[in-house]
Structure 1
Amino acid sequence: MEVVSLSAAADWSGLPQDLLLAIMAALDVPSLVRSGAVCTSWSDAYNTFRLPALKQAPCLLYACDEYGPNYAALYCPSTNATFRVPYPGPLHEKRSFVFSCHGWVFATDEVGDPYLLNPITGVQAALPPVKTIAVRGENFFDNDGKHVLDLESEDENGDPKTGIVWARESEYARVAISPAAEVTACTVLIMHITRFTLLFARPGDKRWTSLPDFETCVKDVLYNDKDGLFYVLHNKGSIHALDLNGSSPSVTKIMRNVTRASVANMYLVVMPSGQLLQVWRMQNNIDVPLKNHVSYKDVVRVALQNCIDLANKNDSDKLKETVTDDEQQIDVEEEELRDNEVNTTEVLVFKVDANRQKLVEPRDIGEYTIFLGFNAAVWLSTKDTTLEANCIYLMDDVDSPSYHPMLRKDLGIWNIKKRSMQKLGDAWPIMHSWLDLPAPIWITPNFASTACLASPIAGRAATTAPRATTRSGRRRARRRR
């Protein structure tokens, strides 16, 4: 019998690529990333597996029954692959994904305290607790009526009991994060929805620091790594630049108001050149008659004179048939959710011309796409990808005025040329069913070495992810009971 040496038996570099691909499909995400550094043949297989697309295009992060309470699903629309990633802690419905920036998820725990989570590595970093936010007027109670936290010094008797879900889901409206090699060096800027107050902190700080109130309502915040500044978008289109690099914050107004009325959802986007964009998203309740939907002409009517150059103002504005997904019908048990259910009916993109103090609408965005939702907006080239050009990938980020969990349904791909929405169920059939809590969000995965990341928070131990999977089958949106 031929004797095989130990060194020869340990040589895995000669494995056929199809076998390597099968092995990689069964690895957890961190192990999968490390496998690409084993040898040249493994690196080639890793590139063939197309995981690098995860580093370029945002993925959908959401909770599902299939992966249990300690894990979340990460779906990559550019590869149709779904991965299981760590999400340790309480049950899904007792915490939330609030926002995502640069691969970090701004999440909240059972009592609404925020922290940063890298869902790829499982690493977490503590942020100051919600009690240190200097905003008066809110008390929070758990679902059993037990008082959890008090943000005001006055007697709480007679005050309405605000559900703890509100503290977890809606206390923080928008988030911007400055990237850094060490997460403890990054700055986190949040918009507190109760008073539309801006606050900032760094991981490890004891308290949040409040910024002076602005004269108008804040709609979005963004960090621009081209100039190291934060930008604040207001409800009538004005923009402020915010410098948090010095000993004291400085604020500069760079764009005036451009409309007489507020737009429902407004976003800031930064292009690779540093050029700022504004995106306006109009949504209507599903029960509102089509003739009463906010239209392109409505935007023209509220625009201030000489403040917006519209590319399509002379085009006909025919009422479009709403796009529906027959797999997302509301049953009797979910009737109470109808009050919060909306459809996106119009999306407009503008370049910010600060020199002329105007917004300029381009005819299209060419071979690019934008990802919007509860995330720092992502501008991405569609070259060499399966993503659709001249489109906007939208997640449902409508506020929940009832302070109750809601099943997110207004999500899909907005075609800028056709001015219409392709619903998610038609666009991406290879997904698990998501839960109503936490709300699904876009995230650009960050595979940075754990040596560059903060240590796990006590009581929330980081954990490696189990096996990555690719699954097929139609997704059926539903609500967990």
Structure 2
Amino acid sequence: MVIHHPQTQVSYARVGDSKWTWLTASKDCFAYHDCFYDDDHGLFYAFRRTGAIHTIDLRGPAPLVNSIFPAFEVSLDCTKYIVLAPWGDLLQIWRYFYIGDNQEPKTKEVRVFKSHIAKQDLVDVKDLQGHALFIGYGSSFFVSVEDFPMLSPNCVFLAYDNCRCDLVKKPVINEVVVYNIENDSFVDAPSFGSWMDCPPPIWIRPSFSKHK
């Protein structure tokens, strides 16, 4: 599944398909900021810029799209991500930005929310339960600080995000920063230099962990 122009819509390809299929199962299938696949339920979860969450089921002859969480905020100074936490919560990450002196967007604040599906409400999250969170131009994921003690808990590592669409106003944020959601502050991070320009930096998830 990919999010693409125009209007950050979605296309998908199943095993054996010879081409991509544009998702048009609902009139609201646009303005997506992020998505992920849940192996346990066999569903894609797609997150709109409004804060609404769609599930997309591609297992039948035709795709099924259901809205499982309502819209909460449409903001032109925020880009949004969605991720399933290791402890089972469905989290929303809101990355607020400002326009710097060079007219480039810069991150100013990061907020993490639990999507309380039953109550259809958001719950502010300040504790990542011993994990660091990595988001950016690609899949979001958690890393245990017990397995990787060089990382700090409750920190969100944010990489370059270059998905722009003029109709949706999702910005190009050309930076790599670390934000501590526990005390709402930026954390000192090493300089990444000019190599950020091409290709855009992405996070690579480690495929191993320390076993006791």
Using the alignment, how far apart are the partners of 1:396 and 1:380 within structure 2? Answer: 19
2:198 is equivalent to residue 437 of structure 1:
yes
Q: Count matched residues.
A: 200
Structure 1: 5+ residue stretches without partners:
1-188, 288-337, 448-481
Using the alignment, how far apart are the partners of 1:442 and 1:199 within structure 2? Answer: 23
Rg comparison, structure with higher value: 1
Q: Quote the offset at 1:204 in angstroms.
A: 5.8
Structure 1 match to 2:11: 199
Query: 2:39 is matched by which residue type in structure 1?
Result: D
Structure 1 match to 2:61: 247
Q: 2:109 aligns with which of 340, 346, 350?
A: 346
Using the alignment, how far apart are the partners of 1:262 and 1:343 within structure 2? Answer: 13
Structure 2: 5+ residue stretches without partners:
167-171
Structure 2 match to 1:125: none
Q: 1:418 aligns with which of 183, 187, 205?
A: 183
In the TM superposition, what whole-angstrom CA distance separates every residue of 1:207-253 from its partner, at most 9, and x where no partner exists? 11111154252111111122121011111111111111222211111
Distance 1:273 1:401, change over 3 A: closer
2:30 is equivalent to residue 219 of structure 1:
no
Using the alignment, how far apart are the partners of 2:200 and 2:147 within structure 1? Answer: 30
Using the alignment, how far apart are the partners of 1:435 and 1:261 within structure 2? Answer: 27
Which one has the bigger strand percentage?
Answer: 2
Distance 1:214 1:281, change over 3 A: farther
Query: 1:237 is matched by which residue type in structure 2?
Result: G
Query: 1:209 is matched by which residue type in structure 2?
Result: T
| Aligned partners of 1:199 and 1:209 also within 8 Å | yes
| Aligned partners of 2:33 and 2:80 also within 8 Å | yes
In the TM superposition, what whole-angstrom CA distance separates every residue of 1:340-380 from its partner, at most 9, and x where no partner exists? x2221110000011100001112322321110001111022
Which one has the bigger helix percentage?
Answer: 1
In the TM superposition, what whole-angstrom CA distance separates every residue of 1:298-318 from its partner, at most 9, and x where no partner exists? xxxxxxxxxxxxxxxxxxxxx
Structure 1 match to 2:130: 367
SS in 1 for 2:6: coil
RMSD (CA atoms):
2.6
Q: Quote the offset at 1:263 in angstroms.
A: 5.5
Structure 2 match to 1:470: none
Structure 1 segment 86-235 matched on structure 2, within 5 A = 189-202=1-14, 205-212=17-24, 213-215=26-28, 217-235=31-49
Structure 1 match to 2:169: none
| Aligned partners of 2:6 and 2:165 also within 8 Å | no
Structure 2 match to 1:389: 153
Distance 1:346 1:432, change over 3 A: closer
Distance 1:434 1:369, change over 3 A: same
In the TM superposition, what whole-angstrom CA distance separates every residue of 1:30-80 from its partner, at most 9, and x where no partner exists? xxxxxxxxxxxxxxxxxxxxxxxxxxxxxxxxxxxxxxxxxxxxxxxxxxx
Structure 1 match to 2:100: 286
In the TM superposition, what whole-angstrom CA distance separates every residue of 1:126-185 from its partner, at most 9, and x where no partner exists? xxxxxxxxxxxxxxxxxxxxxxxxxxxxxxxxxxxxxxxxxxxxxxxxxxxxxxxxxxxx
Using the alignment, how far apart are the partners of 1:276 and 1:358 within structure 2? Answer: 12
TM-score of the aligned structures, taking structure 2 as reference length: 0.82
Which sits farther off after the overlay, 247-256 or 352-361?
A: 247-256
Distance 1:428 1:377, change over 3 A: same
Q: Which has the higher contact order (CA 8 A, sep 6+)?
A: 1
TM-score of the aligned structures, taking structure 1 as reference length: 0.38
| Aligned partners of 1:367 and 1:383 also within 8 Å | yes
Q: Quote the offset at 1:381 in angstroms.
A: 1.7
In the TM superposition, what whole-angstrom CA distance separates every residue of 1:71-130 from its partner, at most 9, and x where no partner exists? xxxxxxxxxxxxxxxxxxxxxxxxxxxxxxxxxxxxxxxxxxxxxxxxxxxxxxxxxxxx
SS in 2 for 1:434: helix
Q: Quote the offset at 1:281 in angstroms.
A: 0.2
Using the alignment, how far apart are the partners of 1:409 and 1:247 within structure 2? Answer: 40
Using the alignment, how far apart are the partners of 2:97 and 2:82 within structure 1? Answer: 18
Using the alignment, how far apart are the partners of 1:205 and 1:394 within structure 2? Answer: 34
